[in-house]
Amino acid sequence: MDEWIEKINNTCDIETLENIRIELLGKKGILTNEFLKLKNIPKEEKKEFAKKLNIQKHLITTALDEQKTFLEKELLKQKLKNEKIDVTKFNNSLQCGALHPVASTMDTVITYFQNLNFSVEEGPLVEDDFHNFEALNLPKYHPARDMQDTFYNKDYTLLRTHTSPVQIRTMLKQKPPIRMIAPGTVFRRDFDLTHTPMFNQIEGLVVDSADKISFANLKHTLVEFLEYMFGDINIRFRPSFFPFTEPSAEVDISCVFCKSKGCRVCSHTGWLEVLGCGIVDENVFKSIGYDNVSGYAFGLGIERFAMLKHNIGDLRSLFESDLRLLGQFR
Ligand code: PHE
């Protein structure tokens, strides 16, 4: 019996232990067999024999139980050791970020115009009435102010509704010839599928001596630019109105989603409006004391360009920071 106890105590895994249990105490086990012998043993020896067997059985089951508990504990210890998390360990699999589609589109447009020798100008986000409206031929109570729902502050300042005030600031600061773009954030009280209260624009302004700048210059610059941005597209200039340009136009490109067949994005017209432009109005030059000059200006919305370039359907998704969307631009 001692041999068996020793064997049990030296067992290293639960499966072997179970096999030993079956070998001894199973239906055909060695000890079970001994118990069966009881009925053939003479009465006087029976008691003694049964006592011996019971003690043996007790010793064996105790040894089996103890060894099983011991092995289970060891197994748990091993498991905990293997599954331990080292929170201080450096994780090499960090994922790289990428530029947001709005930022990368902004960069593309800025670089394009920098290569054409345009300077990059900036202005404040909190503007005054003069720069945002008055100097741009938008006098107080002019109905065209309704085109841009403005956020006003208590001190008569406002959040700029477009990047056009940077035209005024740059012309006051520099002398012609001027060739500039002004990228930046603008604000309007508008919120739906295609409008957010904050978005980004790029303004363009070219000013030179009188009669030097014509609509043909404007058209050439914008056609080249749009073909660079969108590749093989049709472009049309549609007469429009802006207080600060005369004549004014809005520029449409053939729908990049449906190739002009008509879809939800282009409202089944086959065309997408992408920017506003025109020849700088005389009144703008007058308001800042410029004389004998000519110029053109244009303004475009960066988010719209990013959506068209990257096939993004909902403007608001550009501001939701959803990694499932942003991960696609890595
Ligand atoms: N400022 C105009 C807008 O925000 C765009 C524009 C800029 C139009 C310059 C003409 C010339 O809608």
> Where do the structural domains in the chain lie, given as residue ranges?
2-89, 101-329
- Mean pLDDT is lowest, of 7-16, 145-154, 160-169, for 145-154
What is the pLDDT confidence band of residue 149, given thresholds at 50, 70 and 90? confident
Residue 156 is predicted with a pLDDT of 85
Evaluate if residue 91 carries a pLDDT over 80: no
Decide which of 21 and 87 is more confident: 21
| Dist. CA 245 → ligand 1 center (Å) | 9
From the CA of 162, give the closest atom in ligand 1.
Answer: 4
Confidence of residue 292 (pLDDT cuts 50, 70, 90): very high
Report how far residue 28's alpha carbon sits from residue 136's, in angstroms, rounded to the nearest whole number.
105
User: Which residue bears the tokens 């302004």?
Assistant: 205
- Answer yes or no: is the C-beta of 204 below 6 A from any ligand 1 atom: no
The 10s digit of each residue's pLDDT in 238-248 is 999 999 999 99
Whether 251 shows a pLDDT value over 90: the answer reads: yes
Q: Please identify, by atom number, the ligand 1 atom nearest to the C-alpha of residue 147.
A: 12
Residue 145: what pLDDT? 77
How far away, in angstroms, is 80 Cα from ligand 1 center?
A: 66
Task: Tell me which of 70-79, 215-224, 285-294, 315-324 is least confident.
Answer: 315-324
pLDDT at 146 over 80: no
For the residues of 67-113, what is the DSSP string, one character each?
A: HHHHHHHHHHHHHHHHT---TTS--TTPPP----HHHHHHHHHHHHH
Cα three-residue angle 100-118-234, rounded to 5 degrees: 70
Q: Using alpha carbons only, how large is the chain's radius of gyration in Å? A: 42
- Mutating to test ligand 1, I would choose from 206, 213, 244, 246 the residue with most ligand atoms within 8 A of its C-beta, which is 244
| Rounded distance from Cα 326 to ligand 1 centre (Å) | 29
Is 67 near ligand 1, meaning CB less than 6 Å away? Answer: no
Pair 215, 279: CB distance under 8 Å: yes
pLDDT at residue number 147? 67
Task: Render pLDDT for 259-277 as a digit per residue (tens, 0 to 9).
Answer: 899 988 889 999 999 999 9
Mean pLDDT, the chain, integer: 92
Q: How far is the CA of 234 from the centre of ligand 1 (A)?
A: 22
Calculate how far, in angstroms, residue 277's C-alpha sits from the geometric centre of ligand 1: 6
Strand partners, 7: none
Q: Relative to the CA of 277, which ligand 1 atom is closest?
A: 10
**How distant, in Å, are the alpha carbons of 134, 135, 151, 183 from that of 244?**
10, 9, 21, 18
84-93, 150-159, 224-233, 282-291: segment of lowest average pLDDT = 84-93
The pLDDT assigned to 265 comes to 83
Query: Is residue 277 in contact with ligand 1, taking CB distance under 6 Å?
Result: yes
- The mean pLDDT of 3-14, rounded to a whole number, is 91
More confident residue, 2 or 133: 133
Q: Which residue type does 315 have?
A: L
CA of residue 300 to ligand 1 center, whole Å? 7
Please tell me if the CB atom of residue 137 comes closer than 6 angstroms to any atom of ligand 1: no
Return the CATH number of the domain spanning residue range 101-329. Answer: 3.30.930.10
C-alpha 299 to ligand 1 mean position (Å): 4
pLDDT in tens, 174-220: 999 999 999 999 999 988 777 889 999 999 999 999 999 999 999 99
Structure tokens at 315: 């403007």
Mean pLDDT of 38-48: 86
